[in-house]
Amino acid sequence: MLALRNVSKIYRTGSVETTALRSLDLHVKPGEFVSVTGPSGSGKSTLLNLLGLLEAPSAGEYLIDGALSHTLSDFERSRLRNEKIGFVFQGFNLVRDLTIFDNCDIPLRYRGMGGTERRTRIESALERVGLASRARHFPTQLSGGQQQRVAIARALAGSPRVLLADEPTGNLDTHMAEEIMAMLEGVNQAGTTVVLITHDTALAARAHRQIRMLDGIASEIDAVVSDTLTLNASALA
């Protein structure tokens, strides 16, 4: 499903270079639930941005569903993001001026979907996260947990093959975090590949596989399916 081969990411600001990822190899199979943990600045979000085609690697190759990312045009990358990837962010990332319905509508609009199908999908997704009755509300009228559920509904409405969640429980209390985690597990059980970035080791432990990031280097700390992760030998040395 997702394959990073010898991927590095270096940010350049003037003459200063910051290496966020170092020679990373990672393979995520369809239907997996992979968690990524690590301290701040270890490269977790950069990894998620690469997986979500939001950034391009400085070196190495990234294959998503068999397509080499660096050969794709902006339009093709956008279409892949739109059709195959769902995002859930720590800050919910809802547009304040749009209703819950319209927020969920954003990715479907860019897919060029007809009105009836969009409505069906959005209502179904909001039903799934228990917010069908709030479709006409605005984000500021909802609690943090509810907003994150809207973000999940937005991702689910597009029926993505991969759900990338960047600290989705980071801004929530324990009860809400548990609720969101259960929701992600449900999504995964329904067949969607999930990559979860989190600081919470307890939540991370519930994934099929756990990857720990440190200084841009990934290591598997709980290999449930050991052959799906190849750790770069040189990076570990």
Partner 1 sequence: MTHTLLFGYYLRMALASLRRNLLLTSLMVVAIGVGIGAAMTTLTVFMVLTNDPLPDRSERVFHPRLDAQDMSGYAPGGEPHDLLTRLDAEQLLREKRGVRQAMMYAGFSVIELDQGDDMPFRQRIRYTSSDFFPMFGVPLQHGQPWSAADDEARARVVVIGADLNQRVFNGGNSVGKLLRINGEQFRVIGVAAPWHPQPTFYDLNREGGFAEADQLFLPFSTSRALRMGFAGNLDCWGEVDKEEGQLGLNSSCAWVQYWVELASAQDAADFRAYLENHSSQQRQNGRYQRPVNVRLDNIPQWLDYKRVVPSDVRLQTWLAFGFLFICLLNTTGLLLAKFLRRAPEIGLRRALGAPRSAVFQQCLVEAGLIGIAGGAFGLLLAWCGLWLVRQQAVGYAALAGMEAGTLFGTFLLALVASLAAAAFPAWRACLVAPASQLKSL
The residues binding partner 1 (CB under 8 A) are 49, 52, 54-55, 74-75, 78-79, 81-83, 87, 89-91, 93-95, 97-98, 106-107, 109-112, 114-115, 154, 158, 166
Comparing CB distances to partner 1, the nearer of 15 and 116 is 116
218 with 47: CB under 8 angstroms? yes
Strand partners of residue 34: 195, 209
Comparing CB distances to partner 1, the nearer of 69 and 210 is 69
SS3 201: helix
Min dist. Cβ of residue 109 to partner 1 (A): 5
Comparing CB distances to partner 1, the nearer of 23 and 90 is 90
Min dist. Cβ of residue 45 to partner 1 (A): 8
Residue 33 CA, chain-centre distance (Å), reads 11
214 with 9: CB under 8 angstroms? no
SS3 107: helix
Min dist. Cβ of residue 222 to partner 1 (A): 28
Strand partners of residue 28: 2
Comparing CB distances to partner 1, the nearer of 208 and 216 is 216
